[in-house]
């Protein structure tokens, strides 16, 4: 059971930044520069709202925060309201799978990069093959 009303919870969630996050998107831009990856766009109106889009290659790339997308890299677990957060993360994972499926049906290559990989400076091979790196 949530301790906040729907209106209060909505206000709290609206305050959470969903783009230009330093630990994910901005660090990923630095990796693109390092690997000389070009041709990306941000904030395109594409289903699922990918963080980056490569129009010529039809790649939708998501920079996923570890906590919000259920990565077990740090075993991040909230200290309070555990049931709420567990359900929230499960819904996020379910939505991610649905978004991936829909984009793939429309001919997109979908790539998801976790925050922990970005922090380590690691880009997935699936992305690098498109840029001959």
3-class SS of residue 52: strand
CB atoms within 10 A of CB 115: 23
Q: Report the pLDDT averaged over residues 36-64.
A: 93
Q: Which pLDDT does position 133 carry in this prediction?
A: 53
- The residues spanned by each domain of the chain are 6-131
| Residue pLDDT, tens place only, 59-96 | 999 998 888 788 877 766 777 888 888 898 899 999 99
12, 15, 18, 20 alpha-carbon torsion, rounded to 10° = -160
Q: What CATH fold (topology level) applies to the domain 6-131?
A: Endonuclease; Chain A (3.40.960)
Q: Which two tokens stand for residue 13?
A: 């969630």
Enter the DSSP assignment of 65. -
Q: Which pLDDT does position 130 carry in this prediction?
A: 87
Which residues share a beta bridge with 10?
none
Q: Which pLDDT does position 131 carry in this prediction?
A: 83
Q: Is the pLDDT of residue 15 over 90?
A: no
Question: What does each C-alpha distance from 131 to 13, 36, 42, 91 come to in angstroms?
Answer: 36, 8, 18, 33
Q: Which pLDDT does position 25 carry in this prediction?
A: 86
- Confidence class for position 21, pLDDT limits 50, 70, 90: low
| Per-residue buried b or exposed e for 96-109, using 16+ beta carbons within 10 Å of the residue's own CB | beebbeebeeeebe
| Per-residue buried b or exposed e for 52-90, using 16+ beta carbons within 10 Å of the residue's own CB | bbbeeeebbbbbbbbbbbbbeeeeeeeeeeeeebeebbe
């Amino acid at each position: 059971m949530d301790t906040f009303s729907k209106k209060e919870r909505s206000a709290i969630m609206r305050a959470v930044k969903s783009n230009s996050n330093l630990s994910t998107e901005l660090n990923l831009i630095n990796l693109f520069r390092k690997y000389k990856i070009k041709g990306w766009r941000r904030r395109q109106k594409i289903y699922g709202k990918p963080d980056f889009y490569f129009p010529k290659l039809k790649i939708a790339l998501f920079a996923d925060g570890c906590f919000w997308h259920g990565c077990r890299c740090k075993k991040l677990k909230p200290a309070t309201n555990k049931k709420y957060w567990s359900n929230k993360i499960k819904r996020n994972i379910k939505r991610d799978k649905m978004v991936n499926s829909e984009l793939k049906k429309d001919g997109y290559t979908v790539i998801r990069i976790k925050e922990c990989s970005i922090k380590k400076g690691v880009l997935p091979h699936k992305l690098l093959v498109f840029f001959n790196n």
